[in-house]
């Protein structure tokens, strides 16, 4: 398979799966809101200001998802999406 055909097939498959690829780094998302939140990592845009402070970067990143609506963790069984990996793990334990 040539490189051009491989990319074309990949794009076609994404269309059927409902995947939305980042135009900068090609990371894919199942939700438009997640893609929009991700795009801010490339643009540096910070649309939300919040008085909350955090001692850990990971806690800040998790909190920012509340404002952006980004849900990067998807269940492989039912495609439900979550803002935190712990939410996905709980969902998997209790629902599947």
Buried/exposed 24-38: b ≥16 CB within 10 Å, e otherwise: eeeebbbbeebbbbb
Q: Which residue has the higher pLDDT, 96 or 94?
A: 94
What is the percent of the chain where pLDDT is above 70?
76
State which fold the 3-95 domain adopts: Double Stranded RNA Binding Domain (3.30.160)
45, 28 contact by CB (below 8 A): no
- pLDDT digit string (tens) for 26-64? 888 887 888 887 887 787 766 667 778 888 888 888 888
In the chain, domain spans: 3-95
Which two tokens mark 26? 């090609």
Buried/exposed 52-91: b ≥16 CB within 10 Å, e otherwise: eeeeeeeeeebbbbeebebbbbbeeeeeebbbbeebbeeb
């Amino acid at each position: 398979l040539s490189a051009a055909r491989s990319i074309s097939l990949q794009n076609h498959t994404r269309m059927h799966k409902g995947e939305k690829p980042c135009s900068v780094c090609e990371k894919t998302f199942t939700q438009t809101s997640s893609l929009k939140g991700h795009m801010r990592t490339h643009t540096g845009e910070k649309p939300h200001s919040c008085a909350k402070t955090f001692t850990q970067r990971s806690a800040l990143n998790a909190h920012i998802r509340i404002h952006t609506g980004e849900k990067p963790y998807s269940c492989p069984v039912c495609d439900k999406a979550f803002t935190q990996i712990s939410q996905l793990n709980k969902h998997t334990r209790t629902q599947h």
